[in-house]
């Protein structure tokens, strides 16, 4: 509440001050002096305008039997037909359940793992070893999804894979991890942790390095051991960062790592691997039902927005940390 | 130091870009780059657009047709002979449907932005029709009499489900080129061990004896008796390729996508309606349970299947006959000198059926768009294709340029031996039988390439196996059947994504049943539910459309 008031007051003050020609000139000068910094913002603004805001114009395709070649003028307006069809479909709820199941598992395992890793890494005193571990851990981030899926296939293939060889060496029958729906989430979570752990830990390592060192000194004087310092200084120090990331993660609850899920899908695991984003993609790109596909995407976005608002509200009440 | 490093990196990047743009100028099949420039190609007397015609096209390029050799004669020759210049935007098949989406979206409300010709690829002809992007050719058939004659009585493969013709076809008048193949050396080994009492499996029981024998023994001798796969299966788009050979063994003469068949009474329907489908499903489920069927049948891509062949793990599979030769020779190079992938007649099922899909001879390929209509190009484009299907066009497509790539011997074109020394490889690199563009591929050209100037007796065992697998007089003689088409009716277009290939669709249900996740009885119960949700319409509309096309 305090922060919002300050922001509000600052805004009012700035508006008043901007009326002064001298101040305006000074601001212009400052912008000119830092023009290269401001220029760096331009690509991001262009990107956001082109790929995030302009496509919103086409959201109205969800109310049309949209034909690409005919545009809105030549396509038939169908009202809420696609939304009705979507919401009355048994499959929709199955896809939402699949998406939520994977994301909840991911939230419980993949999301906190980088924090734990960062905390552990922070305790390593051998700097070269620490840097080595950090470098090795975030390298998988740079592997493309297609390559990652190939690696997963090579490891998990029950006929030619590494795991199959190990199983056979132990006299056991190899498990078909990729075609058995029971293992689909497990394969995703394990590979997800492997690929994102190091990279996602960077932000926590940065947050930890920003903690005032006098707090650790004070804790040591008070008799705190290493574990207690972590518990009472480090974790509270990174908690605001963790919560902000958590809120944003909750906004992604109906999304997924599309490429990976899509590439790992097969007819034997589709009952658990078909997610809302892959379904929407197939509706549009495979079945050419552009209106229905847009309706699915819009539904996804609206629910995601609601989830973010709820998570933000809860966080604001509980921890006084929020996105807005 | 940093500047030097930056300079080195910049030069390296520049060189890599330059090399990527460069085309190979090394001679192929004895033909130097740009060889066709020396040929005096005269304008055709039967068709030539005075003043020239520029035709734009969006097409799919396949890997086996290299595009880096600038000795490709075909399009320059076409232009010299007909005055038609093709400006083709070649794309790979991966993600092609998305490219078509983009092209259509770009031409939204302005059809002149469409290329003159679009190959539908995975986007589908019916979807292009639905978008209003392409035109029916029914009213123009008098402009393409050569094409009509070339299609002949194979109209059901040319016409769409609504009875209209939307595309100039590509026609492949060559023998079926896929075959069942098995490790003959392993069969002989099993015979020596007393496990089986035949050299080549033929009947259902013999095949089962061979497969179980492979499963229970260390055939490749690597000390691991469990790493051989008795029957390797390739999934295709949605499981269709892996199931053909087994569906055929049960007398189900399936379509290319393994979804449709024609019953004995001539009714076109989905394969699940076939009276033998339950027997098929029950038997295949048991084979999977027993470890005979590839555990990865639902995920194995073509390249993965070849890997199992080259890795000395595949006991049998259904694939291109040429792969028998390629992988036999690959195993020889690895030191497995007695290895032999022998092409063999299709598996004879428990009811005595033995069938094999005929190679699809007529495939609708090039659709003319509203863009061509807007530019007034339709008639000339069609006249061009009529020329392409004339003797002059067919010779250029199949044999190249007389005196350079072929000679006329007793009035028949005979290709130069230098072009044939690498079989199909140099032939296609030079630009002959440019299948991505389409045309009429002749049996004679195919056979000349296949033999590369040799007789059957002069071929090695691997090549003889290849020959046996594709020759109409070889092991598959009498087994071929004409594939029924997959008719993209309105109901099919509406329900395909959800009820056929969707997560709860019949393909997924079928594979789950084979893998034992669903019982056979449950399969049929859930299939009935899918019928009530729309598959019944797919079946009825398909039957009507087929009857109409066949009737016509």
Q: Are residues B262 and B391 in the same domain?
A: no
- Nearest-angstrom CA–CA distance, B66 and B369: 27
Does the residue B503 lie in any domain? no
Q: Are residues B153 and B186 in the same domain?
A: no
| Inter-chain touch A68–B239, beta carbons under 8 Å | no
Contacts of B238 in chain A (CB under 8 A): 267
Q: Using DSSP bridges, classify how beta strands B480-481 and B356-357 pair: parallel, antiparallel or unpaired.
A: parallel
Instruction: Please write the tens of the pLDDT for every residue from A243-255.
Output: 888 888 888 888 8
A32, with CB counted inside 10 A (0-12, 13-18, 19+), is exposed
Say what the pLDDT of residue B281 is. Answer: 96
Contacts of A73 in chain B (CB under 8 A): 109
Predicted-assembly ipTM surpassing the 0.95 threshold = no
Q: Which residue has the higher pLDDT, A202 or B360?
A: A202
pTM of the model: 0.83
Say what the pLDDT of residue B194 is. Answer: 95
Q: Which residue has the higher pLDDT, B268 or B425?
A: B268
Question: B255-261 long-range CB contacts below 8 Å, 24 or more apart?
Answer: B255/B483, B255/B484, B255/B485, B255/B486, B256/B357, B256/B360, B256/B483, B256/B485, B256/B486, B257/B486, B259/B486, B259/B500, B260/B484, B260/B485, B260/B486, B260/B487, B260/B542, B261/B484
- Nearest-angstrom CA–CA distance, B184 and A144: 41
Instruction: Please write the tens of the pLDDT for every residue from B248-279.
Output: 999 999 998 889 999 999 999 999 999 999 99
- Nearest-angstrom CA–CA distance, B539 and B268: 8
Does the residue B28 lie in any domain? no
Does the residue B338 lie in any domain? yes
pLDDT band per the 50, 70, 90 thresholds, residue B237: low
Mean pLDDT of the A18-31 span: 85
Closest chain B C-alpha to A94 CA, distance in angstroms? 10
B216, with CB counted inside 10 A (0-12, 13-18, 19+), is middle
Contacts of B315 in chain A (CB under 8 A): none
Say what the pLDDT of residue B38 is. Answer: 84
Q: Are residues B85 and B114 in the same domain?
A: yes
Q: Are residues B353 and B382 in the same domain?
A: no
Helix residue spans in A49-180 (DSSP H): 71-74, 81-87, 90-108, 113-122, 127-138, 145-156, 162-169
Say what the pLDDT of residue A7 is. Answer: 43
Nearest chain A residue (CA) to B97? A285
Q: Are residues B54 and B152 in the same domain?
A: yes
Say what the pLDDT of residue B21 is. Answer: 55
pLDDT band per the 50, 70, 90 thresholds, residue A2: very low
**What is the total count of domains within chain B?**
2
Mean pLDDT of the A282-306 span: 91
**Percent of all residues in chain A with a pLDDT value above 70, rounded to a whole number:** 94
Does the residue B513 lie in any domain? no
pLDDT at B120 over 80: yes
Q: Which of residues 156-215 of B touch A (CB under 8 A)?
A: none
Does the residue B87 lie in any domain? yes
Q: Are residues B61 and B105 in the same domain?
A: yes
For residue B185, what is the domain's CATH number?
A: 3.40.190.10
Q: Whole-number mean pLDDT of chain A?
A: 89
Say which range, A229-243, B64-78, B150-164, B168-182, has the weakest mean pLDDT: B64-78
Instruction: Please write the tens of the pLDDT for every residue from B35-77.
Output: 888 888 899 999 999 999 999 999 998 766 666 666 689 999 9
- Nearest-angstrom CA–CA distance, B464 and A14: 87
pLDDT band per the 50, 70, 90 thresholds, residue B22: low
- Do B112 and B374 meet the contact criterion of CB atoms below 8 Å apart? yes
Q: Whole-number mean pLDDT of chain B?
A: 90
Say what the pLDDT of residue B512 is. Answer: 95
Q: Which residue has the higher pLDDT, B34 or B325?
A: B325
Q: Are residues B333 and B475 in the same domain?
A: yes
Instruction: Please write the tens of the pLDDT for every residue from B362-421.
Output: 999 999 999 999 999 999 999 999 999 999 999 999 999 999 999 999 989 999 988 888
- A170 and chain B: CB distance < 8 Å anywhere? no
Q: Are residues B223 and B328 in the same domain?
A: yes
Q: Are residues B158 and B190 in the same domain?
A: no
Mean pLDDT of the B512-520 span: 95
- Nearest-angstrom CA–CA distance, A112 and B362: 58
Q: Which of residues 101-140 of A touch B (CB under 8 A)?
A: none
Say what the pLDDT of residue B502 is. Answer: 87
Number of H helices, E strands in chain A: 18, 2
Q: Which of A108, A110, A117 is closest to A202 using CA atoms?
A: A117
Say what the pLDDT of residue B369 is. Answer: 97
Instruction: Please write the tens of the pLDDT for every residue from A41-52.
Output: 999 999 999 999
> Which residues neighbour A107 within 8 Å (Cβ) at sequence distance 6 or greater?
A246, A249, A250, A253
Say which range, A150-154, A312-316, B325-329, has the weakest mean pLDDT: A312-316
Mean pLDDT of the A85-110 span: 92
Instruction: Please write the tens of the pLDDT for every residue from B78-89.
Output: 999 999 999 999
Instruction: Please write the tens of the pLDDT for every residue from B187-201.
Output: 999 999 999 999 999
Does the residue B534 lie in any domain? no
Say which range, A93-97, B435-439, B470-474, B489-493, has the weakest mean pLDDT: B470-474
Mean pLDDT of the B199-223 span: 95
Q: Which of B500, B513, B533 is closest to B270 using CA atoms?
A: B500
pLDDT at A228 over 50: yes
Q: Which of residues 459-498 of B touch A (CB under 8 A)?
A: 493, 496-498
pLDDT at A12 over 60: no
Say what the pLDDT of residue B240 is. Answer: 63
Backbone angles phi, psi at B57, to 5 degrees: -155, 145
Nearest chain A residue (CA) to B500? A267
pLDDT at A18 over 60: no
Say what the pLDDT of residue B71 is. Answer: 65
Nearest chain B residue (CA) to A177? B296
Does the residue B515 lie in any domain? no
Say which range, B12-16, B158-162, B239-243, B461-465, has the weakest mean pLDDT: B239-243
Contacts of A181 in chain B (CB under 8 A): 517
pLDDT at A1 over 60: no
- Nearest-angstrom CA–CA distance, B232 and B341: 13
Instruction: Please write the tens of the pLDDT for every residue from A156-180.
Output: 999 889 999 999 889 888 999 999 9
Closest chain B C-alpha to A59 CA, distance in angstroms? 15
pLDDT band per the 50, 70, 90 thresholds, residue B24: low
Say which range, B386-400, B415-429, B533-547, has the weakest mean pLDDT: B415-429
Q: Which residue has the higher pLDDT, B231 or B178?
A: B231
- Nearest-angstrom CA–CA distance, B149 and B472: 23
Nearest chain A residue (CA) to B504? A271
Say which range, A4-18, A89-103, A255-269, B58-72, has the weakest mean pLDDT: A4-18
Does the residue B116 lie in any domain? yes
pLDDT at A13 over 80: no
pLDDT band per the 50, 70, 90 thresholds, residue A8: very low
Q: Are residues B187 and B323 in the same domain?
A: yes
Mean pLDDT of the B431-460 span: 86
pLDDT at A9 over 80: no
Say what the pLDDT of residue B66 is. Answer: 64
pLDDT band per the 50, 70, 90 thresholds, residue B23: low
Q: Which domain holds residue B197?
A: 178-357+460-481
Which of A168, A270, A273 to mutate to probe the B interface, most B CBs <10 Å? A270
Backbone angles phi, psi at B454, to 5 degrees: -110, 170
Instruction: Please write the tens of the pLDDT for every residue from A25-39.
Output: 999 999 999 999 999
Q: Are residues B346 and B469 in the same domain?
A: yes
- Nearest-angstrom CA–CA distance, A189 and A194: 9
- Nearest-angstrom CA–CA distance, B121 and B110: 23
Q: Are residues B121 and B187 in the same domain?
A: no
**A73, A164, A267 member nearest B298 (Cβ):** A267
Q: Which residue has the higher pLDDT, B467 or B212?
A: B212
pLDDT at B126 over 60: yes
């Amino acid at each position: 509440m305090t922060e919002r008031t300050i922001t509000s007051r600052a805004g009012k003050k700035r508006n008043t001050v901007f009326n002064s020609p001298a101040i305006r000139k000074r601001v212009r000068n400052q912008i000119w002096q830092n023009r290269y910094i401001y220029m760096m913002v331009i690509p991001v603004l262009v990107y956001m305008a082109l790929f995030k805001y302009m496509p919103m114009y086409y959201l109205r395709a969800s109310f049309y039997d949209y034909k690409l070649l005919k545009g809105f003028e030549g396509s038939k307006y169908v009202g809420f037909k696609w939304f009705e069809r979507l919401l009355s479909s048994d499959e929709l709820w199955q896809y939402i359940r699949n998406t939520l199941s994977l994301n909840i598992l991911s939230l419980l395992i993949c999301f906190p793992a980088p924090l734990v890793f960062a905390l552990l890494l922070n305790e390593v005193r051998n700097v070269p070893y620490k840097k080595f571990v950090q470098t090795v851990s975030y390298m998988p981030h740079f592997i493309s999804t297609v390559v990652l899926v190939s690696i997963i296939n090579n490891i998990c293939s029950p006929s030619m894979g590494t795991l199959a060889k190990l199983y056979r060496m132990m006299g056991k029958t190899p498990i078909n991890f990729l075609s058995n729906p029971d293992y689909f989430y497990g394969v995703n979570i394990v590979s997800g942790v492997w690929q994102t752990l190091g990279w996602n830990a960077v932000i926590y390592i940065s947050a930890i390095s920003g903690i005032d060192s006098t707090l650790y000194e004070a804790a040591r004087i008070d008799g705190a051991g290493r574990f207690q310092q972590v518990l009472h200084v480090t974790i509270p120090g990174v908690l605001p960062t963790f919560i902000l990331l958590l809120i944003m993660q909750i906004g992604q609850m109906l999304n997924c790592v599309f490429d990976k899920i899509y590439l790992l899908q097969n007819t034997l695991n589709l009952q658990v691997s078909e997610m809302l984003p892959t379904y929407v993609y197939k509706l549009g790109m495979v079945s050419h039902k552009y209106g229905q596909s847009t309706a699915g995407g819009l539904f996804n976005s609206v629910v995601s927005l609601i989830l973010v608002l709820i998570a933000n509200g809860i966080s604001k009440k509980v921890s006084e940390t929020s996105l807005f | 130091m940093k500047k030097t490093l930056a300079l080195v990196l910049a030069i390296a990047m520049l060189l890599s870009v330059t090399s990527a743009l460069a085309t190979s100028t090394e001679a192929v099949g004895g033909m130097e780059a740009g060889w066709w420039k020396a040929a005096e190609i005269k304008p055709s007397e039967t068709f030539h657009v005075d003043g020239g015609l520029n035709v734009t096209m969006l097409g799919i390029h396949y890997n086996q047709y290299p595009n880096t050799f600038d000795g490709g004669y075909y399009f320059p020759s076409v232009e010299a002979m007909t005055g038609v210049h093709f400006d083709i935007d070649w794309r790979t098949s991966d993600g092609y449907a998305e490219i078509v989406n983009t092209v259509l979206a770009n031409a939204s409300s302005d059809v002149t932005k469409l290329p003159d010709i679009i190959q539908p690829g995975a986007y589908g002809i019916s979807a292009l029709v639905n978008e209003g992007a392409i035109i029916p050719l029914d009213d123009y058939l008098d402009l393409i009499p050569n094409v009509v004659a070339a299609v002949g009585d194979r109209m059901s493969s040319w016409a769409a489900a609504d009875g209209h013709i939307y595309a100039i076809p590509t026609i492949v008048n060559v023998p079926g080129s896929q075959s069942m193949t098995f490790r003959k050396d392993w069969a002989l080994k099993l015979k020596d061990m007393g496990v089986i009492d035949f050299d080549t499996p033929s009947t259902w029981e013999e095949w089962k004896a061979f497969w179980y024998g492979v499963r229970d023994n260390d055939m490749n001798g690597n000390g691991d008796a469990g790493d051989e796969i008795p029957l390797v299966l390739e999934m295709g788009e949605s499981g269709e390729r892996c199931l053909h050979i087994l569906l055929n063994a049960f007398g189900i003469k399936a379509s290319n996508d393994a979804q449709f068949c024609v019953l004995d009474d001539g009714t076109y329907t989905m394969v699940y309606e076939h009276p033998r489908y339950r027997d098929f499903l029950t038997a295949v489920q048991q084979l999977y349970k027993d470890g005979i069927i590839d555990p990865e049948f639902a995920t194995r891509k073509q390249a993965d299947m070849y890997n199992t062949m080259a890795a000395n793990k595949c006991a049998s599979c259904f694939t291109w006959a040429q792969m028998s030769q390629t992988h036999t020779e690959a195993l020889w190079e690895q030191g497995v000198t007695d290895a032999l992938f022998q092409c063999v007649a299709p598996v004879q099922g428990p009811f005595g059926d033995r069938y094999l899909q005929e190679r699809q001879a007529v495939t609708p390929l090039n659709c003319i768009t509203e863009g061509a209509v807007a530019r007034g190009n339709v008639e000339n484009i069609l006249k061009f294709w009529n020329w392409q299907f004339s003797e002059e066009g067919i010779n250029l497509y199949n044999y190249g340029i007389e005196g350079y790539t072929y000679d006329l011997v007793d009035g028949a074109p005979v290709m130069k031996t230098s072009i044939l020394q690498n079989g199909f490889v140099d032939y296609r690199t030079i630009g002959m039988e440019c299948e991505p563009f389409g045309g009429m591929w002749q049996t004679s050209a195919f056979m000349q390439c296949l033999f590369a100037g040799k007789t059957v007796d002069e071929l090695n065992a691997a090549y003889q196996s290849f020959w046996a697998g594709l020759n109409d007089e070889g092991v598959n003689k009498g087994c071929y059947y004409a594939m029924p088409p997959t008719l993209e009716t309105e109901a099919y277009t509406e329900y395909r994504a959800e009820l056929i290939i969707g997560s709860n669709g019949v393909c997924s249900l079928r594979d789950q049943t084979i893998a034992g996740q669903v019982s056979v009885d449950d399969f049929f119960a859930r299939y009935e539910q899918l019928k009530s949700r729309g598959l019944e319409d797919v079946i009825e509309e398909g039957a009507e459309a087929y009857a109409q096309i066949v009737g016509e």
